[in-house]
Amino acid sequence: MSNPSTAKIAFITGGARGLGFETARQLGKLGIKVVLGVRDGAKGEEAVKALRAEGVEAESLAGDITTPDGREAIRDRLAAFGKLDILVNNAGIHLEPESEPSVTHNNTSEVKPAALRDTFDVNFFTPVALTQTLLPLLRKAPAARVVNLSSVLGSLALHSDPDSRIYGRKAFAYDASKTALNAFTVHLAQELRDTPIKINSAHPGWVRTDMGGEAADLDITEGAKTSVQLATLPADGPSGRFVHLGQDLPW
């Protein structure tokens, strides 16, 4: 771990692959030091090696952010930097069957309580608890940014609109977890409205990742752009919004 620095520090959960890795790469190319939150230390070091080969200043932190002890250990190690400028709550899971956006799919009546609990634990409870744990470090930064990786599938407005693209595509556990994460964004942004900290929800788009599949609309470079934009907002940028590539989405 480096000594305390005035350089911007970003912590990205799920940073070893997919959108998390690409978000780290793009932030690093902007001169921001990126710290990858990973579960597997070896994979984290592989990711760091790849980033450093591109000239990105990077480190990895291995730990289980789903546990209080794991989150506190991450906080204690990040404290060596003296502050945290950017938190990207990127890690997430989707346990239900996938479907094409054009294919009607809804098995809400069959979703098991265990699937709901497991999904909410990773997609909602963990980012809430991690943000709360790291908030003292975020407050020490001149103008911290928090990005919650949400999804258009968390939009109640679009899910209830028969004319929307996602109307027929309903994965209850995943969708509800992102709706809840959006609520956290709105609530925390209001609490922090008189501070320089900005918190927003990002919809990356339907991206070709392990979760999104090969048929997705966007490549991973495009998919990471919304998170990067929200992580680097200027002082007059928005807070408490749900955004995709600079455009507001309905809650």
Average pLDDT estimate for 239-247? 96
Cβ neighbours of 5 (radius 10 Å): 13
- Cα first-last separation, the chain: 39
Cβ within 8 Å of residue 14, ≥6 positions away: 20, 37, 38, 90, 91, 92
* Per-residue pLDDT at 214: 52
> Taking 50 as the threshold, does the pLDDT of residue 2 lie above it?
no
* Residue recorded with tokens 């932030």: 27
Q: For the chain, what's the residue count?
A: 251
Q: In this predicted model, which residue has the larger pLDDT, 216 or 40? A: 40
Per-residue pLDDT band for 208 (boundaries 50, 70, 90) equals: very low
Range with the poorest average pLDDT among 83-87, 97-101, 227-231, 244-248 = 97-101
Describe the crossing of helices 172-191 and 113-120 by its angle, rounded to 10 degrees. 40
> Domain locations in the chain?
9-248
Beta strands in 24-81 (DSSP E): 33-38, 58-62
9-248: CATH topology is Rossmann fold (3.40.50)
**Burial track 43-63 (b if 16+ CB lie within 10 A, e otherwise):** bbbebbeebeeeebbbbbbbb
65, 175, 69, 200: which is closest to 127 by C-alpha?
65
Q: In this predicted model, which residue has the larger pLDDT, 173 or 217? A: 173
* Per-residue pLDDT at 207: 52
Predicted TM-score of the model (pTM): 0.93
Assess contact for 58 and 51: CB atoms under 8 A.
yes
Assess contact for 26 and 225: CB atoms under 8 A.
yes
What is the C-alpha separation between 72 and 251, in angstroms, rounded?
Answer: 32
Per-residue pLDDT band for 21 (boundaries 50, 70, 90) equals: very high
What is the C-alpha separation between 200 and 185, in angstroms, rounded?
Answer: 6
* Per-residue pLDDT at 105: 81
Percent of the residues in the chain that have a pLDDT greater than 90, as a whole number = 84
Mind listing the pLDDT tens digit for each residue in 65-123?
A: 999 999 999 999 999 999 999 999 999 999 987 655 556 789 999 999 999 999 999 99
> Taking 90 as the threshold, does the pLDDT of residue 205 lie above it?
no
* Per-residue pLDDT at 212: 47
Mean pLDDT across the chain, nearest whole number? Answer: 92
Assess contact for 232 and 241: CB atoms under 8 A.
no
* Per-residue pLDDT at 97: 74
Average pLDDT estimate for 34-60? 97
